[in-house]
Structure 1
């Protein structure tokens, strides 16, 4: 059966609005992971308008892979950065991105087919939305990592005393507002971030810990909403880090992470809340950034290593305080 549409009816039909999208991928010496990531972008139900890969000038394996990669219809561009660290790579990417939405993922992630389509829908629905992220499904090889099939309602929140509830890899349920997004799966409205860049004052030799948290909180302070939607999903195959294993204690990595957390929250909180945070951090803390209560809790089980973790956390707190003070001068 043929369906005829009159001229007057055809004029009333408007095309679905769209925003141009840049996918930004910082990468360093993980060419096989990057191939998987790029291949996943070829299968997006809403194709990207630009794919920007930021490569270190010394990363010969990745540069060689990209020279021989079959881009097919992928609008792939490569940008080179000479400064080490994820923050420098992300900022270089932001400086070169042309999209109205900048969607960021890691080289060891593989966005699911509806990633960009679902992300874009939130920006189109509400102009006060400055950032959108979702679940990153953690994999160990070809299988879901142990515990990665769990579900939580509360993710990406910052509690009043300064304790973070991340767990973006376990979020389930409906889209909702959050305080922070995760670096492996987040996108931002270009007009919202304007000249905002990832904080170069954060410490770390590779992926400066919590750079995504600092960026998220800065956007919140500017008055924009951050939306977490579990259907904005990527598969995440955590790769090796420059500061050692993700699952073994590394004193330098721990100290840098605690420094960054302390500095970020001192900058984010108002005066009274800063005092509360510092008291809570020194007296209680968490299993990753330990205060006195956590020292006592883990001492019978860990012994000397538990004392070391507490001491490294204390040093990180002190150094974070110093960095914040210096930035106020």
Structure 2
């Protein structure tokens, strides 16, 4: 099967160099690696133009996009890719040498397989994020999302959602489907792979998470307002809006109303409802910040509901 790999990047040439080196060292190389760069990203374009260390047989090409955000980059990649299997990874990741080989074999063996993802081993603060979770990539009937792709363990199993740093889709399962341009953000556009995964699943295709399919992930500084571990009203609103829009459109009628109640009252630590916000405040997270998160989330719910009803 012909395999394409899509790598969006923005002003992170050191990370990109590590990623490209890992893709060049694959046991089974991709038939094409497409780096999606921004038209105004001169450092990346210069690096790609003058980089001389890649083997001549490595099929690397560049596609440019002018719209900020990873959604436009992913969609440019989908429009450019010619493979029967389309893989995605981030510029701050390094797939293991058997990554492409195992992905291609999985799609060859299982003709009902629409998407395949694996674990990203997260490197932070000089170490690796540890843990083991059996529940990975799920969305409950009332909209409670479970990630845990970076600490999943056990056998390969069906899931609802794959993680963009380590995922692949069958071209036939994707068809004309594209990442949702309504999702907010000028960079990461959090949860965009959730919407895409759910759309593929709704088409009747199977999505599988295999925790032995590995990439090393070195989370780098983002080139937008959504900085990891730092609260920002706009970034928080964008992520909350995206999640709420996805749930408003993918859940059943009863699930949608249950989600509204759940997110307003309970939520999770990253995106708390009122009760959890109060509990977080009592546990030392700061009363003002906890309630601020709840209020921003409430505003995001209003915006997402309006967007879903258009």
TM-score by length of 1: 0.90
Instruction: Write the mapping of 1:162-173 to structure 2, written as runs, cut at 5 A.
Output: 162-173=143-154
Shift of 1:149: 2.8
1:186 aligns with 2:160: no
Indicate which of 79, 89, 114 corresponds to 1:130: 114
1: CA distance, partners of 2:294 / 2:179: 28
Residue of structure 2 in register with 1:296 after alignment: 278
Q: Is the 8 A contact 1:115 1:231 kept in 2?
A: no
Secondary structure of residue in 2 paired with 1:231: strand
Q: Which stretches of structure 1, 4 residues or more, deviate above 2 A after TM superposition?
A: none
Q: Which moved more, 1:69-78 or 1:47-56?
A: 69-78
1:156–1:168 CA contact under 8 A, matched in 2: yes
- Residues 274 and 291 of structure 2 are in contact (CA less than 8 Å); yes or no, is this contact kept in structure 1? no
- Deviation, 1:144, is 3.2
Kindly provide the CA deviation profile for residues 164-214 of structure 1, in whole angstroms up to 9, marking residues without a partner as x. 110100011111101100010100000110000000010011111100000
1:91 corresponds to 2:75: yes
Higher Rg: 1
Partner SS for 1:230: strand
Tell me whether 1:101 sits opposite 2:85 in the alignment.
yes
Aligned counterpart for 1:217 among listed residues 183, 198, 214: 198
Q: CA RMSD in A?
A: 1.1
Give me the whole-angstrom Cα distance separating, in 1, the residues matched to 2:24 and 2:35. 15
1:202 pairs with 2:180 = no
1:21-65 residue CA offsets vs partner (Å, 9 max, x unmatched): 001001111011000000001111111100000110000000111
Gap regions ≥5 residues in structure 1: 1-18
Q: Structure 1 residue 283: deviation in Å? A: 1.8
The equivalent of 2:239 in structure 1 is 257
Query: d(CA) in 2 for partners of 1:67 and 1:205?
Result: 25
Give the aligned partner of residue 276 of structure 1. Answer: 258
Residue 58 of structure 1 aligns with which residue? 40
Once residues 66 and 294 of structure 2 are traced to their aligned partners in structure 1, the CA distance between those partners, rounded to angstroms, is 35
- Indicate which of 245, 248, 251 corresponds to 1:266: 248
Matched, 1:307 2:288: no
Q: Distance in 2 between matches of 1:292 and 1:231?
A: 38
Question: Where does the alignment leave 5 or more consecutive residues of structure 2 unmatched?
Answer: none
